[in-house]
Structure 1
């Protein structure tokens, strides 16, 4: 399947899931084009917090999406160090460092991307420690662990950067929290930058997926000049 066909196939699935979430009142209106802020996100976060993978994790990398806010807040409340991606990776140092011992505000406030932007120090991968658990958002995901984000590719680049820097260990777990309607039973198209998730957590269940699939790093030949220039950390690396 050509790249254009893959992109079109992915977008058709996203559109169907966004429509379904709104039709079933599983998310507030306006989810199209975004990682859905689904109803039950806090329950999914609580279910994740009961897993051994969560209890063992001390250092977490998380997306900044609203759907994962309860999980980021729980991580800080549980004393875990959180690296949260800067929205759209729009800074040269693309991660916020949230240290539960130094945030100075309640965890549910610090976990907000708007508040993190005012209280957290930004860091690059060179300053980061290896991560135990990666929390990502999804628009759709199947039980094999193949996921679709909103289509911008930021989560894929985040994982590729961490992988290239040696910050993803063989034991690192990647998890997504979603509404049950976002779990689909079909094959989902993938590209080289796409990573799989090891765990899917909904408000009702935990799904353990197949052996992990990870990019080995950033595949520069698959990035457009526009994407490279839009992400300062990539632009700096491309200049050498």
Structure 2
């Protein structure tokens, strides 16, 4: 519980800083969200200049507005993009965006739902680069999201399916105010990022942390029931199918 409280305090501090600085381009509060920020396009350009980006053919990205420029850049660069379905609300919890068949509008989740198929981990290609949304991140790469836990679950699912591995680079794009100088708390089911990209700087992190899979003991029955991919996986494991997601 102390870790949860420390994470909540970190979120609230950063949200307050962002609101005080009025960084949202639409003038909205950051509270409760993966914050949008002025300069997100610049951060995406800075990311696109990195070797990890240039070498990546397949990118998995969160659906939040803050990373919209990243998703658009990936499609423009001819990369396959897997975008998480908001709240993992579908049995196949990722939109598959093929740059040869969808336009840049598909980088927005409300349009992706109309033009892109959904896929499960077993139907996906290995992921070269993960871009995640973040509320706060320290210089070691430890991140805190908005508290729902979806990013951790998405990564854990893909690790279990072998789609995220040691070769996968994990990146976050954030406003400079989201980078904190004090160490953030972390648990064994959290993942860390390898690279932090802001409009002003790129930070390479050393302390890599990856989950080995889904940490079922940290999930309530309500959470499992609310996420179709998790409930299906739990049922498959109960029936003796450890893969739980067939290609």
Q: Deviations over 1:54-110 (max 9, x none)?
A: 00000000000000000000000000000000000000000000000011x3x1x11
The within-5 A match list for 1:89-100 is: 89-100=88-99
Contact 2:23/2:36 (CA < 8 Å) preserved in 1? no
SS of match in other structure, 1:23? helix
**Runs of 4+ more than 6 Å apart:** none
Using structure 2 for the length normalisation, give the TM-score: 0.93
Deviation, structure 1 residue 30: 2.1
The CA distance in 1 between the partners of 2:122 and 2:219, in whole Å, is: 22
The within-5 A match list for 1:182-221 is: 182-221=178-217
Q: 1:110 aligns with which of 106, 112, 120?
A: 106
Say yes or no: does 1:72 pair with 2:71: yes
Deviation, structure 1 residue 31: 1.3
Q: Deviations over 1:153-208 (max 9, x none)?
A: 00000000000001112121000000000000111111121100000000010000
The residue number in structure 2 matching 1:87 is 86
What are the ranges of 5 or more consecutive residues in structure 2 without an aligned counterpart?
Answer: 237-247
Q: 1:20 aligns with which of 17, 20, 30?
A: 17
The residue number in structure 2 matching 1:226 is 222
Pairwise CA RMSD: 0.8
Deviation, structure 1 residue 121: 0.2
Say yes or no: does 1:147 pair with 2:143: yes
SS of match in other structure, 2:167? strand
What are the ranges of 5 or more consecutive residues in structure 1 without an aligned counterpart?
Answer: none
Say yes or no: does 1:132 pair with 2:123: no
Deviation, structure 1 residue 234: 0.2
Number of aligned pairs? 234
The within-5 A match list for 1:35-46 is: 35-46=34-45
